[in-house]
Amino acid sequence: MQQPVVLIGEWLVSPAINQISRQGRQLTLEPRLIDLLVYFAHHPDEVLSRDELIDNVWTRNVVTSHVVTQSISELRKSLKDGDDSSPEYIVTVPKRGYKLTATVMWCTEEGKELTPLPLTVIPTPAPTESAATSQPMPSPTTPTPVPEKRRSVTTWWVWGLFLLALFSCVGLVAMSTIDSHPPVTKTRLLLNPRDIDIRLANGNSCNNAASQRAYAVGLGSLITTSLNTYSTYMVHDKTNYNFNEPSSSGKTLTIEFVNQRHYRAQQCFMSVQLVDNADGSTMLDKRYFVTSDNQLSIQKDLMSSLSEALTQPWPEKMQAMLRQYQPSKSQSLADFYQAHQLLMNGDIDSLSKASVLLEDVISDSPDFIYAQAEKALVDVLRRSQQPLDEKQLAALDAEINHVTAIPDIKQTAVFFQIKTINMLSLGKVDDAFEAVNAGIELEMSWMNYVLLGKVYEMKGENRLAADAYITAFNLRPGENTLYWIENSVFQTSVTRVVPYLDNFLAAK
């Protein structure tokens, strides 16, 4: 039996190929967005809570409200397709959930079967006064005879509507399969005011931009992870993203190193601007001269300025997280961010350099316990990419035991990241699954979702693995995240496991 397609409003939804189409326009959506739309189609005009959506679409594997909110937002944007005048397909019911308001019609891909719709009963017109006097009233127990001519007209009217709907379904299916038109980029986008893009602008004009790039990337990573975990904003770290397509995010935070020649020869400063894309207004505009001893104070000032610009006080848990990134020496923070960028690269050479650099950081700042945890994470990843002898394995086990015994580390995401990778290397998939979900509860980061995808692959659930990888790429798009998906812990075939991501990258 063919997998059914469904007509939702003007859109024909084909779950088998993850596409929606209308009037010759075709869009390919992420698999989870298609699943979400199909679930709404099974419950038209019903209010569905977030918990119900997680239970039935995500099946409680990833229970973060951010993912539901983001998925609904992206689904709405796709259904609008850049047309502000298009009707709202999914509406928010305050304090209850979401509801699909468009009409729904199901049919097979060949259009041979159509879900029967209830027939509207047409009331018989009231008899005129002359007719009432000339014909006797029927008995209450005797059914009123329907004239043969009226019965024939009614039958043909019902069959006509049925055939019209059937041929409409066949025509829409044919339009979606005969010719595939390339997507047309719309110049007008529906912006999400709660989404923020973080971009790193080209700073080649500055002599010291290259050496300070790792610091800027580290700041972007810290802002992304902390706001995604503890605020109501959805942040996309695009510091490693080279594509220049229009963004739907309502705000953009740009970090750039600018050569201020007229102030001092070859003197560079780090410019940080937060712009509201809806009206082009500047919400934050800061300039910092970065030196070897002020990088810690710059980080504190920037996070405080962001809180004021977004009018969102940071909760205590977020402030506790930020304190983990505050070593006693400012230079230790700069070296840590350099090692962190090497970790994000993911390859064995970068990991080896990161391990050596973090060892120096720990030596200079013994109080910087988060650097100790980061080094253990780096070394666990190194083991997954190169064989170790017995002496090296013993040293690594001792390092893991030392770090995981630190009280302040046990309730951090990096603790569960180390545990997840370690359990996978030992073949303990269930323990790894428990660890990675505990890490996601503590931190919404691209790294956690890559590890979740690896665990799902080990469980043989490639569909869920693909969802996790796409979420990771959405949080931090770019070559680094793709390398992690393909090579971290073990090799993954993007073409086989995440074909949507493979097609997305090929289209660029």
Cβ atoms 72, 90 nearer than 8 A: yes
Residue 326: φ, ψ to 5°: -130, 75
Asked whether residue 330 carries a pLDDT value surpassing 70, the answer given is yes
Cβ atoms 328, 210 nearer than 8 A: no
Residue 4: φ, ψ to 5°: -70, 150
Supply angle C-alpha 365, 352, 395, rounded to 5: 75
Cβ atoms 321, 303 nearer than 8 A: no
DSSP string, 77-97: HHHHTT-TTSPPSEEEETTTE
Q: Which helix (H) or strand (E) holds 435?
A: helix 429-442
Separation of alpha carbons 321 and 135, rounded Å: 87
> Is the model more confident about 300 or about 32?
300
* Domain interval for residue 164: 1-118+150-183
* From 121-125, 335-339, 374-378, the region with the lowest mean pLDDT: 121-125
Separation of alpha carbons 209 and 410, rounded Å: 36
Please report, for the domain that includes residue 7, its CATH number: 1.10.10.10
Domain boundary pick from 301, 323, 345: 323
Separation of alpha carbons 341 and 479, rounded Å: 13
Question: Is residue 315 a part of any domain in this protein?
Answer: yes
Both 246 and 343 in one domain: the answer is: no
> Residue 180's pLDDT is what?
45
> Is the model more confident about 461 or about 502?
461
Question: Is residue 125 a part of any domain in this protein?
Answer: no
Q: Which residues pair with 284 in a beta bridge?
A: 274
* From 290-294, 367-371, 426-430, 479-483, the region with the lowest mean pLDDT: 290-294
**Other C-beta atoms lying within 10 Å of the C-beta of residue 105:** 18
Question: Is residue 177 a part of any domain in this protein?
Answer: yes
Both 286 and 410 in one domain: the answer is: no
Q: What percent of the chain has pLDDT over 90?
A: 44
Question: Is residue 200 a part of any domain in this protein?
Answer: yes
Both 295 and 368 in one domain: the answer is: no
When pLDDT is averaged across residues 78-83 and rounded to a whole number, the result is 79
* From 288-292, 346-350, 441-445, the region with the lowest mean pLDDT: 288-292
Residue 259: φ, ψ to 5°: -85, 115
Under the banding of pLDDT at 50, 70 and 90, the label for residue 34 is confident
Both 157 and 206 in one domain: the answer is: no
When the pLDDT of each residue in the chain is averaged and rounded to a whole number, the result is 82
Please report, for the domain that includes residue 218, its CATH number: 3.40.50.11830
Please report, for the domain that includes residue 360, its CATH number: 1.25.40.10
Q: Where are the beta strands (DSSP E) in 244-401?
A: 249-259, 268-276, 281-288
Question: Is residue 448 a part of any domain in this protein?
Answer: yes
Both 375 and 468 in one domain: the answer is: yes
SS3 368: coil
CB within 8 A of 327, min separation 6: which ones?
A: 296, 333, 336, 361, 365, 367, 368, 371
Question: Is residue 126 a part of any domain in this protein?
Answer: no
Under the banding of pLDDT at 50, 70 and 90, the label for residue 356 is very high
Both 494 and 402 in one domain: the answer is: yes
Nearest to 340 by CA among 438, 222, 209: 222
Domain boundary pick from 266, 301, 323: 323
When pLDDT is averaged across residues 479-484 and rounded to a whole number, the result is 94
pLDDT in tens, 234-282: 999 999 987 767 788 899 999 998 876 655 545 678 899 999 998 899 9
> Is the model more confident about 38 or about 148?
38
As a whole number of Å, the CA-based R_g of the chain is 29
Both 209 and 87 in one domain: the answer is: no
Domain boundary pick from 183, 205, 234: 183
Give the number of domains in the chain: 3
Both 91 and 48 in one domain: the answer is: yes
> Residue 3's pLDDT is what?
61
Question: Is residue 399 a part of any domain in this protein?
Answer: yes
Both 216 and 315 in one domain: the answer is: yes
> Residue 73's pLDDT is what?
81
When pLDDT is averaged across residues 229-238 and rounded to a whole number, the result is 91
* From 117-121, 265-269, 311-315, 394-398, the region with the lowest mean pLDDT: 117-121
Both 273 and 356 in one domain: the answer is: no
Separation of alpha carbons 104 and 11, rounded Å: 10
Q: Two tokens at 294?
A: 């002020």
Question: Is residue 155 a part of any domain in this protein?
Answer: yes
Under the banding of pLDDT at 50, 70 and 90, the label for residue 187 is very low
Asked whether residue 397 carries a pLDDT value surpassing 60, the answer given is yes
Nearest to 297 by CA among 197, 215, 201: 215
Task: For residue 348, give Cα distances in angstroms to 214, 391, 454.
Answer: 18, 19, 18
Q: Two tokens at 309?
A: 């610009």
SS3 225: helix
pLDDT in tens, 292-304: 889 999 999 999 9
Both 304 and 439 in one domain: the answer is: no
Nearest to 256 by CA among 203, 205, 198, 211: 203
Both 226 and 374 in one domain: the answer is: no
Burial (CB < 10 A; 0-12, 13-18, 19+), residue 216, is buried
Asked whether residue 507 carries a pLDDT value surpassing 60, the answer given is yes
**Other C-beta atoms lying within 10 Å of the C-beta of residue 24:** 11
Separation of alpha carbons 201 and 257, rounded Å: 8
